[in-house]
A and B are shown apart, each in its own frame.
Chain A
Amino acid sequence: MSRVAGGAKLLAGSVVIASLLAGCSPAGEAEAGAAASRFQRSVAAADWASACGLLSERAGTDLESAAARPCPAALPALQLPTDDVGTVEVWGHNAKAMVGQEAVFLSLFSSGWRVIAAGCTPRGEDLPYQCAVGS
């Protein structure tokens, strides 16, 4: 093995180890961002059944319990933002996507990325966001 090849392998190995330690994954950002975009397109198109299908099971059932009606009937009243997805940040199996001034939180399930909270506005440093869905 040449010294250059050895150095490249060492560098590649270090990057892999650092990525594992840091839980970073560019593929994760693309996939989480795509899921957030699907959710935003569904909301913008008032396709509430599709939007509900992109919620996590817990987020959907919590919404239905709070609104006392099915998810597709409960979502319109929340007036979720219809902006395109901006920056996406992924850590491990969780992600946050900015949509305008609000945030959508997602988590990775066996069925793919699902929205665990939407319509989230910051409440100040060190405090959880206030979310319309999935608080």
Chain B
Amino acid sequence: MKRFVTDNGLSLFFVVILLLALAGQSVAGLAQLNSQQLADGLQTLTYAQYLTSSEFAVDVAENWQSEFLQFTLYILATVYLIQRGSSESKQPGRAGLESDEDQKVAEHAEADSPRWAKSRGWRLSVYSKSLTLVMAAIFALSWLAQSIAGRAAHNEQQLGQRQDPVGWVDYITSADFWSRTLQNWQSEFLAVAAMAVFAIYFRQRGSPESKPVGTAHASTGSEE
């Protein structure tokens, strides 16, 4: 057990703080919604009702989709684009998908390489993009969930304000949908841009996300 925790500390830490943050969000979100319900002369929700409500679902989904979009784009962009001096970037001249030898696939695979990395054909093609595919799929599903839950929450609010509900197509072209979407996207893109640039000039001793403290600003990529 102790060994498991030590070996998986990074994942476990983030799963735990994810759950704590979700719990906090649900408590604060319920209080905010109930405050509005009281102001409108409507029934307040119980905690269980709020956890299964479209309001909670859209608030969660809109943040999830943007996080997975961020990583999808970052994984793809770092294949082809360089940031000179950044530990987040490959070294200049290495942009692109790289050679089979560099990627240790097919006949260049090693004994303990993943099984699909040793093959050729569709398995290698899929496995070579699997990280992007999984991230992109979760992004797409989260964004779809945001659109469905967002429409439901928006329509509930519309009825409470004596207005007509809208269809899904109308919702995904609405200000509510794009306001929720873009306010999350801009913050993710800012964070990635800041990380790519800050990693040139700033250091965190001991972190693989940083260059070693004494490494020159001009040094690009992790040291071999």
Contact = CB atoms under 8 A, between A and B. Distances in A.
Interface in A35-84: 56-59
A21 B152 contact: yes
Interface residues of B, number: 26
A56 B160 CA distance: 12
Interface string A101-135: 00001011110000011001010001111010011
Q: How large is the interface on A (under 10, 10 to 19, 20 to 34, 35 or more residues)?
A: 20 to 34
Interface in B14-63: 40-43, 45, 52-55, 57
B153 A18 contact: no
B162 A22 contact: no
B165 interface: yes
A99 interface: no
Nearest to A105: B162
Contact of B162 (A18, A23, A91, A131): A131
B164 interface: yes
A12 B43 CA distance: 30
Contacts, number: 83
B159 A95 contact: yes
Contact of A21 (B42, B149, B158, B159): B149
B174 to A, nearest CB: 10
Given A21-B148, A56-B41, A107-B43, A94 B153 contact: no
Given A92-B53, A95-B159, A129-B162, A116 B42 contact: yes
B159 A94 contact: yes
Nearest to A111: B43
Given A23-B153, A92-B153, A105 B159 contact: yes
Contacts of A18: 148
A23 B152 CA distance: 6
Q: Do most interface residues of chain A lie in helix, strand or loop, or is the interface mixed?
A: mixed
Given A56-B41, A58-B41, A92-B53, A24 B159 contact: no
A22 B164 contact: no
Contacts of B45: 93
A109 B43 contact: yes
A29 B54 CA distance: 17
B11 interface: no
Given A91-B158, A93-B156, A120-B162, 5 more contacts: A23-B54, A23-B153, A56-B42, A57-B41, A109-B43
